[in-house]
Amino acid sequence: MERLIKKGKIEYKSSKEINFSRLGIGFEKLDRGVFDPNKAYDKVARLGVKKIRIQSGWMRTEREEGVYDFAWLDEIVDNLVSRGLEPWICLCYGNPVYTELAKPVFGAVGCPPISTERERNAWVKYVEATAEHFKGRVSLYEVWNEPDLAYSWRHSENEEFNDSKVLENAVEYGEFASATAQAVKRADADAKVIGFAVANPRNFAYVDTAMSTGLYRYIDYVSFHVYSCRDNDRVYMIKNLDNVIKKYNPALKLIQGEGGAQSRSDGNGAMKGYAWSEEKQRKYLLRTLICDLWLGLEFTSYFSTMDMIEALRGRISDKASYLDYGYFGVLGAEFDENGVSTGEYREKPSYYALSVLSTLFAGKSEAYDMVVKSNPLPSKRMAGNDCSDPTLRFYPFKLDDASSLLCYWNGTEILTTTYEGTVSIEVVGEKTDNLCVVDLRDGTLYSMPEEMIEVRSENVVRFKNIPVSDVPLAIWFRK
């Protein structure tokens, strides 16, 4: 970047300053009280995201049969709404008042109320009460979390899955989610419902089987989660999932509801033990969220706001079973003896990268048919020629203010490769009189020296030997 001319920095927008955005973040696990939200509200609002995912916590809300205490969740919802955020609720998990299996489980995680008529009726009443209570404050509900995994949809203490069992569970989930969606809409006719929250979006048979129960008639969106250290097939995976759901209802839209990377290699949960660092987390966040925005998802949500315990297979009687710390947060934390996130909640590099994206993509943005191609030239900086790797990625957008933004990077392996080089590209139909290069890591703005810009014809410009790395940069054609 030293060959560019530093011009300043983007002024980050807060959530209150943004009316609409397709970027969100997770604020999960408060049903289990794993962090203090009061120390996080202002920090998450300064990110500029809009959609924020919370979990309903049935067992925390209905501790006595038929008695609902929403006070704890009211406080969370109201604090988020007052800061310009738009909470959406994942309806989960089980409740030991009704389900024997849930009694020893920390947070009643993964214990669906499906075994008896009493459980099923209690769940429907709870869902109706929740949607009625939050009418006017929450308008989007998701049915369960990762029901395609063994930890989250189980019938016994140590249940194991095989292919046939997964498809049996898909039928159960389809029927359960259909009843849940109808309950939401009986209580709030204006509410929308998200189905699935699948952990494996490549398991098309699971999605297809659940849809075939008639679920597609009652939901408005399908959500999926992605935890992978590789992102080069992300476009094809999402497009294929979209093709599956649209065979049932072409109006259904996709939401990336939970996906992220750790910032340390010693974290528990998804991708544990991988060589993660704070820099790799930031790289992952930028590359995946830009891809999701370009694909036109309804919105995409980064997991998560906080470092916190994973607690997916915890047992109440065994504290050690849920003191399994994950480091997915854009805010870092320490932990006390009970696994609660403590400290001042430090902003990581990923926090500022998400702030940059939130500011740039505020309002309506969409994929743009910009004509762009790699045009390798001799490059002294590379002691040879510009990068021409097949992993070069170009994602052009038209932003809310009608300006154009071309995000680009070399999509080398996130975990194992650090890349820095040059690239030459030709772009058609864009004005160069007010362009800048944006370092998406922190929002620093640069202009290009004259020797990097060659106007080849009235509508074609070539950018020569400009920086490229494995972390996204953007050329911003400002109005």
Q: Do 146 and 276 lie in a common domain?
A: yes
Q: Do 397 and 317 lie in a common domain?
A: no
> Token digits for 351?
């926090």
Q: Do 343 and 382 lie in a common domain?
A: no
Q: Do 307 and 456 lie in a common domain?
A: no
**Separation CA 440–CA 478 (nearest Å):** 16
Domain that holds residue 423: 365-477
What was the pLDDT predicted at 118?
A: 98
Q: What DSSP character marks residue 315?
A: B
Would 58 be classed as within a structural domain? yes
Q: Do 349 and 388 lie in a common domain?
A: no
Would 11 be classed as within a structural domain? no
Residue finishing a domain among 311, 342, 360 = 360
Would 84 be classed as within a structural domain? yes
- Write the CATH number for 79: 3.20.20.80
Q: Do 233 and 323 lie in a common domain?
A: yes
Best CA proximity match to 26, nearest among 223, 240, 169: 223
How big, in percent rounded to 5, are the helix, strand and coil portions of the chain? 30, 25, 45
> Token digits for 322?
């849920």
Q: Do 355 and 375 lie in a common domain?
A: no
Best CA proximity match to 333, nearest among 35, 44, 49, 38: 35
Would 2 be classed as within a structural domain? no
Residue finishing a domain among 360, 390, 417 = 360
Residue finishing a domain among 360, 381, 396 = 360
Q: Do 286 and 378 lie in a common domain?
A: no
Query: In order along the chain (479 residues), what is the average pLDDT of each group of 10 residues?
Result: 95 98 98 97 98 98 98 98 98 97 96 98 98 98 97 87 88 98 98 98 97 98 97 96 98 98 97 98 98 98 97 92 96 96 96 98 97 97 97 98 98 97 97 96 97 96 98 96
Q: Do 175 and 239 lie in a common domain?
A: yes
- Write the CATH number for 471: 2.60.40
What was the pLDDT predicted at 158?
A: 79
Q: Do 347 and 447 lie in a common domain?
A: no
> Token digits for 120?
């099923």
Would 4 be classed as within a structural domain? no
Would 280 be classed as within a structural domain? yes
What was the pLDDT predicted at 160?
A: 77
The structural domain count of the chain equals 2
Q: Do 90 and 44 lie in a common domain?
A: yes
Would 194 be classed as within a structural domain? yes
What was the pLDDT predicted at 400?
A: 97
The whole-model pTM stands at: 0.97
Q: Do 393 and 290 lie in a common domain?
A: no
